[in-house]
A and B are shown apart, each in its own frame.
Chain A
Amino acid sequence: MDLHSIGPLAWLIPTFTALAFVVIIGMIVTDRASKNAAWVAVAGIGASTLLALPTFLAALGSASGHGEGEAGGLAIAPFVKQWAWLPMGRDGALNLGIMVDPLSAAAVAMVTVVCTAIFVFASAYMEGEFNNYRDARTGLPDPRTGRNRYARFFAYVSLFATGMLGFVLSSNLLQALLFWEVMGLCSFLLIGFWNFKPSAAAAAKKAFLTTRVGDCFFFLGILGLYWVFGSVDYADMLSKAGIEKLHALAPFAVDIAGHVYAVPVIPLLALLVFGGSVGKSAMFPLHVWLPDAMEGPTPVSALIHAATMVSAGVFLVARMYPVFSAATPDHPGYISGPMFVVAALGAFTAILAATIAVAQYDIKRVLAYSTVSQLGFMVAALGIGAYVAAVFHLLTHAFFKALLFLGSGSVIHGMEHGMHHGQDGHGDGHGSGHGSGHDEQAAPYQPRRIGGVLAADPMDPQDMRNMGGLAGKMPWTFRTYVIGTAALTGIPLLAGFWSKDEILAEAFHKGVQSQIAIALIVYVLLTAAAFFTSFYMWRQVFMVYAGKPSTEMAAHAHESSPAMTGPLIFLSIFAALLGFVGVPEGLPGIGPALGNPFHHFVGALTASGSHFEALAFDWTPMLISTVVAFLGLGAAWWVYGRDPAAARARDPLARLGRLWALLNNKYNLDEVYGLVVTSNPRIHGEADVTEHDKTVAERLGKLIGLTDAFSRLNGQIDARLVDGAVNLAARLGEKFSRFNGLLDRYVVDGAVNLVAFAGLDLSRGLKLLQTGRVQQYALIVLFALLFLVGALVM
């Protein structure tokens, strides 16, 4: 099919899901909510898929059909259709539109397919919500609210899919930001879906506010890019002309009141845009929201972690790649400033999250940190210029991570059924009065700590220490889960192997052969992270599936319904086979036969005209990564696989002592944030703020030279200030910059100096800044405006 015949219809792809959203909301409003809501949502995303796949194929056809050599016709001229949204003066308009290029075509196909599987899975998974909803306060069954909540869930996920599809297909940055924020809203709604649980409500707030910090940077970046290009259209920014403009601009002179300052504009803008990605893709230091996002229903976790939200951050960096790479002279092997930051942050996040994941017990939390770690892989790959590898990993990861999350959902579902079964058997009245059909963290229990690590809650269906022996109970879940794990850990021939290998190979090539320091660091860190990845994933498999059941729950667990296992099997096919589209051409045997179509398709970077040459094949990194993967598997077997039951009862690695506790407590990062960013535990997302946490916090407070008095004072100040989005965002920004380093500190000082320069008393100025009085803010804005205008005019 020709892209020019199907391309103009691409706007329908997000429209179908949006329509599903509207229809379901209509069902709720007219009190007609029923299980049909799920089918409306599935129909919506299904229609999107049915349109997205031909679009993808058409793009594929255009890319290979018209192109000469590697740079396909499509890559030179992506399909763009725009409508004027807001005509602005004579020179242009803000547009709404769609852009189909290799990147967006591949991403939109991935998103729709994965979302379809997730939606089908959710239709069965959320049945508990439908059937057994109980009022949180009275504990009485409340079928009407249950119906509505079930429908509302599907409305939200449909809107979520709309956000992602719209974002991916956007033809300009502003529209992308719009859909980006739609996703932000939906993540808030969905993470807090069980909002009667304080922890879920807190996690939702945390996710929302944390990503907002990134979004502020993103928006500033968009404004800056508009300032430079006079347009926010990708077609203008990423075209050859745009890139040339970028090169011409790189060190930019700003004339303020006669003084000329050289401002490195492009790196600055690139980093601002990257700020958005840091928030959305949960890079350090804004990664804290993602693990807490587990408070949402499991399909939501799959949605957020695999197909949509976090991919959006990586997608953004990939989309804006020309801007990132353009800031510096264009010679091979040179890593530009912003890319250096991207690579370092990515690699650091990868290893940080991978080590944290090793010490988690919650089945979903392990996967969450795994996601953070894998996102680190992708971002690091982009940072060292491995564009194709990063996009490839983005796609494969979406499939197997969705598979793993859905698999964990199936496990939790089975465990809950086991729990109810056990209750019936024992006549135990436990569990009544909780609000939902699912009991993810519902039971009241007294948290104990053993060696600084929270002990298992025996009624927690998500705690891996309560599992075991599920391989026999849930055969299909087990099989697909193993495929997903193998794919993620890079066992040869599965999807993750090829994509991860490509990243590592590029890093190896640049680090070892081209002698680029950052690439070498990235390579070492990522290889280590790959080892940990293999270790914690196989640890999880052994803990969950191997041996004899550790609890009654696990003993009575049973396989989920076909509506849930079906999507698992479907996704596992992709997890197993998708990698073959990106096999290096140089690989003896299958390589030349398969021809690496993915690289040829995506490798020609959209519009900018440049494209990526595939590396010459090298056995060394591939062998190393294979060895690393099997080493991790072996280590996991050695530690956990030999006697799974004992390992569940007492973790062998707990012998590491304080290091183990530190890892289990995520390097105490939440506590550090609690002290430095906000002392309000409500946005921690941690429901179980225990005495231990407080002692940790205090110790840390002393550690970094803060007295108890200071923390109390700080607590009081913050308690007054954490009262809303505006104030909080300002506070977060300010505190955060102080925490984060010299650059930001410089900005804050600059702002203060500005106030002082105006002749205002310094302390009064600071007081003015934080009174919460809107009119004073407005006055300050007016003052700043006049100052700027005055500076420009004179």
Chain B
Amino acid sequence: MAMIPLWWYLMVAAGLFTIGLYGALVRKNAVSVLMGIELMLNAVNVNAVAFWRYVSPTAKAAAGADRPVGDFVVGMDGQVFAVVVIALAAAEAAVGLAMVIALYRSRRSFNLPQMDQLQG
């Protein structure tokens, strides 16, 4: 198989991660920063699934090389990882945006550079 080399995915993930980090670093708007973080989490997920697909052990490896066993992927670790990350991303977005809303209420602003004090 391997119609697509693994490193293509890694490149895309690296790009997503860097762009997301850039957004998180430079955007003034707190919501935009959260979006950047979501992008970074997506990049991580792409990596996890790509590695699951390409390098996770197969049934042949698990059963021993001498046995006539098909090359099935054993284990769902990468997918489980991705699913849990998605759940955490949702939780993170929920709380993060709630904080943004609460801050907006007290500051009338979305701008992070103005949020340099944690006292309400």
Contacts and interface: CB of A to CB of B under 8 A. Distances in A.
Interface of A: 87, 720, 723-727, 771-775, 778-779, 782
Interface in B1-36: 21, 24-26, 33
A774 B119 contact: no
A463 B118 CA distance: 38
16 contacts: A87-B77, A720-B117, A723-B118, A723-B119, A724-B117, A726-B118, A772-B117, A773-B115, A774-B112, A775-B25, A775-B26, A775-B112, A778-B25, A779-B25, A782-B21, A782-B25
B113 interface: yes
A773 B119 contact: no
Contacts of A773: 112-113, 115-116
A773 B113 CA distance: 6
Contacts of A724: 117-119
Interface in B58-97: 77
B118 A778 contact: no
A772 B116 contact: yes
A771 B116 CA distance: 6
A651 B26 CA distance: 64
A727 B112 CA distance: 15
B33 to A, nearest CB: 7
Question: What 10 A-B pairs are tightest by C-beta distance, nearest first?
Answer: A724-B118, A772-B116, A723-B119, A723-B118, A723-B117, A773-B116, A771-B116, A775-B25, A779-B25, A772-B117
A614 to B, nearest CB: 51
Nearest to B77: A87
Nearest to B116: A772
Per DSSP, chain B at the interface is helix
Nearest to A779: B25
B37 to A, nearest CB: 10
A528 B112 CA distance: 56
A772 B115 CA distance: 8
A87 B77 CA distance: 9
Contacts of A782: 21, 25
Contacts of A778: 24-25
A778 B23 CA distance: 12
A72 B48 CA distance: 47
B56 to A, nearest CB: 11
A778 B25 CA distance: 7
A128 B34 CA distance: 47
Nearest to A772: B116
A773 B114 CA distance: 8
Given A778-B25, A779-B25, A782-B21, A772 B112 contact: no
Contacts of A771: 116
A779 B112 CA distance: 14
Nearest to A719: B119
Contacts of B112: 773-775
A771 B115 CA distance: 10
Given A724-B119, A775-B113, 10 more contacts: A87-B77, A724-B117, A725-B118, A772-B115, A773-B113, A775-B24, A778-B24, A778-B25, A779-B25, A782-B25
Counting chain B CB atoms within 10 Å of each CB, which of A724, A773, A775 scores highest?
Answer: A775
A527 to B, nearest CB: 48
Contacts of B113: 773, 775
Contacts of A774: 112, 115
B33 A775 contact: yes
Nearest to A773: B116
Interface string B102-120: 0000000000110111110
Contacts of A772: 115-118
Nearest to B113: A773
Contacts of B26: 775
A725 B117 CA distance: 11
Counting chain A CB atoms within 10 Å of each CB, which of B113, B115, B116 scores highest?
Answer: B116
B25 to A, nearest CB: 6
Nearest to B28: A775
Counting chain A CB atoms within 10 Å of each CB, which of B33, B115, B117 scores highest?
Answer: B117
Contacts of B115: 772-774
B79 to A, nearest CB: 14
Counting chain B CB atoms within 10 Å of each CB, which of A724, A726, A771, A774 scores highest?
Answer: A774
Contacts of A726: 118
B25 A727 contact: no
A726 B116 CA distance: 11
Contacts of B116: 771-773
A199 B63 CA distance: 66
B104 to A, nearest CB: 16
Interface string B29-53: 0000100000000000000000000
B10 to A, nearest CB: 17
Counting chain A CB atoms within 10 Å of each CB, which of B113, B115, B118 scores highest?
Answer: B118
Contacts of B24: 775, 778
Nearest to B114: A773
Nearest to A771: B116
Contacts of B77: 87
A369 to B, nearest CB: 33
A771 B118 CA distance: 11
Contacts of B119: 723-724
A772 B21 CA distance: 19
B83 to A, nearest CB: 15
A87 B84 CA distance: 14
A782 B25 CA distance: 10
A663 B25 CA distance: 51
A726 B117 CA distance: 10
B51 to A, nearest CB: 11
Counting chain B CB atoms within 10 Å of each CB, which of A725, A726, A778 scores highest?
Answer: A778
A133 B67 CA distance: 74
Nearest to A726: B118
Nearest to B26: A775
A484 to B, nearest CB: 44
A773 B116 CA distance: 5
A572 to B, nearest CB: 47
Nearest to A721: B117
Contacts of A727: 118
